Amino acid sequence: MSARLRFAPSPTGPLHIGGVRTALYNYLLAKKLGGEFILRIEDTDQNRYVEGAEDYIQEALAWVGINFDESPKLGGEHAPYKQSERKAIYAEYAQQLIDSGKAYYAFDTTDELDALRERLIAEKVDNPSYNSVTRMQMKNSLTLSADEVEKRRANGESCVIRLKVPIKEEVRFKDMIRDWVVVHSSTIDDKVLLKADGMPTYHLANIVDDHLMGITHVIRGEEWLPSAPLHILLYRAFGWEHPEFAHLPLLLKPEGSGKLSKRDGLLGDFPIFPLQWTDPESGDVARGFREDGYLPQAMVNFLAFLGWNPGTEQELFTMEELIESFSIERVNGSGARFDIQKAQWYNQQYLRALPDEELVELAKANAETEITDEFAASLVKLLKDRVTFPKEFITEAPYLFEAPTKYEEAIAAKQWNDQAKTAMPLIIEALQSVEDFNSQQIHDAIFENLTAAEIKPGKVMQALRLAVSGQGRGADLMLTLEILGKTEVISRIEKALELL
Ligand code: GLU
């Protein structure tokens, strides 16, 4: 049987970065095993449906290069499965459980359910729920006569279908990450499978689809671990074999303690969503990794390492290499720290590795005013090894765009001394003599002139930098002079001599 894995998000808001990691692990294992990766939108809960979330999910996955196989629309556009389009299927399977006596109809009203809860709480029951014990005190097809049930159903009375959880049964399964998980069925309540409006709950739709779609491995977030025993019971009720399960550890805050939450992303220090998201109701904007200037290759590499490691020293992996190296055995069982600095490091590595033409395009795209290819190429040449994000091609060296109007005071006090003042006219003279104004020629001319006047060039270079950039530090100085051009450099030095 070939491997089939799926990512099954609910479109209840923007996809959290942890969701992208879940999708990635499913994708990697599917491809590693030579199988398929399916995308299924679990959109049966109309109350939680958020406009735009579904498009967001697809766009985010496409951005990082997680492409899904298969499409329910034969011959049509490539689209994910959507549970809202499969409603009839779930009702049919719920009926199957009714027919086999594994599920039952329940007619209890909201008031009656509330009353049950209150009574159980008053009686100090450990786990107040609608379960194998309490169901016998409620209005359902186990307590009402067959005629009564028939009559109520014929009258169109509101009714749900609940799973008849066995009274005493051990539920055990082997999680690929956590090993054996054992739960007693008495702790599980009779979950609603089909709601009064005919819509399935998450549990029913999820299990029916995983079965019908031939899913072999389910990799999902730890928050679903408590639902897994119920899912095992559902597979048993249907008489189906269950897929293998792997519940991924939580993502922790960068500090290393506490769960990474949506709020962390809204506080604004760093993104936790793959793409920028504008909340359709509040209009609030949450930043995205893409808009912040992260490259998708860096994201994939960073996410792969959030809880997994290859067991070697290698840190940079293409998607192909990840597919080859990935295994669930090497997924860590404890929480993974969301180390945003590591994400930045990856971005720097991947940015540096891009061909210069692409960097030129990125620099141009980030400039506020239009810049020429030639100027953009200069920025790239000068700053390539210093930037983490493409926008820094523009922000890193503001003095390339405008002559300084201020000079860093501490540097000026220390470096703009008598020797520097003597050196500047010599530097100007040297610059004037340079015909081919490139960094090597500039360097040679300046050094020659200063050395002849018995000034150690090293002693006045920071002053020169200060004169042309206003700063004490920055990118390669000779290259900076080359980019600025002879006339501009000389005029800046003259201005510094006047002002400082
Ligand atoms: N729809 C669920 C979610 O939003 C799917 C959980 C699962 O993978 O089974 O995460």
SS3 for the chain, per residue? CCCEEEECCCCCCCCCHHHHHHHHHHHHHHHHCCCEEEEEECCCCHHHCCCCHHHHHHHHHHHHCCCCCCCCCCCCCCCCEEHHHCHHHHHHHHHHHHHCCCEEEECCCHHHHHHHHHHHHHCCCCCCCCCCCHHHHCCECCCCCHHHHHHHHHCCCCCEEEECCCCCCEEEEEECCCEEEEEEHHHCCCCEEECCCCCECHHHHHHHHHHHCCCCEEEEEHHHHHHHHHHHHHHHHHCCCCCEEEEECCEECCCCCCECCHHHHHHCCCCCECCCEECCCCCCEECECCCCCCCHHHHHHHHHCCCECCCCCCCCCCHHHHHHHCCHHHECCCCEECCHHHHHHHHHHHHHHCCHHHHHHHHHHHCCCCCCHHHHHHHHHHHCCCCCCCCHHHHCCHHHCCCCCCCCHHHHHHHCCHHHHHHHHHHHHHHHHCCCCCHHHHHHHHHHHHHHCCCCHHHHHHHHHHHHHCCCCCCCHHHHHHHHCHHHHHHHHHHHHHHC
Identify which of 44, 224, 242 to mutate to test ligand 1's pocket (most ligand atoms within 8 A of the CB): 224
Tell me the per-residue pLDDT of 169-218, one tens digit each, with 9 for 90 and over: 999 999 999 999 999 999 999 999 999 999 999 999 999 999 999 999 99
Nearest CA to ligand 1 atom 5: 8
CB of 325 closer than 6 A to ligand 1?
A: no
Residue 3 predicted with pLDDT over 90 = yes
Q: Which atom of ligand 1 lies nearest, measured to the CA of 10?
A: 4
Ligand 1 in reach of 44 Cβ (< 6 A):
no
Q: pLDDT value at position 8?
A: 98
Percentage, residues of the chain above pLDDT 90: 93
Mean pLDDT of 276-286: 92
Protein residue with its CA nearest to atom 2 in ligand 1: 9
- d(CA 454, CA 462) in angstroms, rounded, equals 17
8: Cβ below 6 Å to ligand 1?
A: yes
* pLDDT band at 76; cut points 50, 70, 90: confident
Give pLDDT, residue 268: 62
Q: Please state, rounded to an integer, the average pLDDT across all residues of the chain.
A: 95
Q: Is the CB of 15 under 6 A from ligand 1?
A: no
Kindly give the number of the ligand 1 atom that is closest to the alpha carbon of 220.
8
* Any ligand 1 atom below 6 A from CB of 219: no
* pTM, two decimal places: 0.93
Tens of pLDDT, residues 459-496: 999 999 999 999 999 999 999 999 999 999 999 999 99
* pLDDT above 70: residue 310: yes
Average pLDDT rounded to a whole number, residues 313-331: 97
Query: Is the per-residue pLDDT at 166 higher than 70?
Result: yes
pLDDT at residue 410, rounded to an integer: 96
Quick check: CB of 209 below 6 Å from ligand 1?
Answer: no
**Six token digits for residue 75:** 């011959």
- pLDDT band at 275; cut points 50, 70, 90: very high
Split at pLDDT 50, 70, 90, the class of 441 is very high
- pLDDT tens per residue, range 244-270: 999 999 999 988 888 998 777 766 689
- 126 pLDDT above the threshold of 90: no
Active site residues: 262
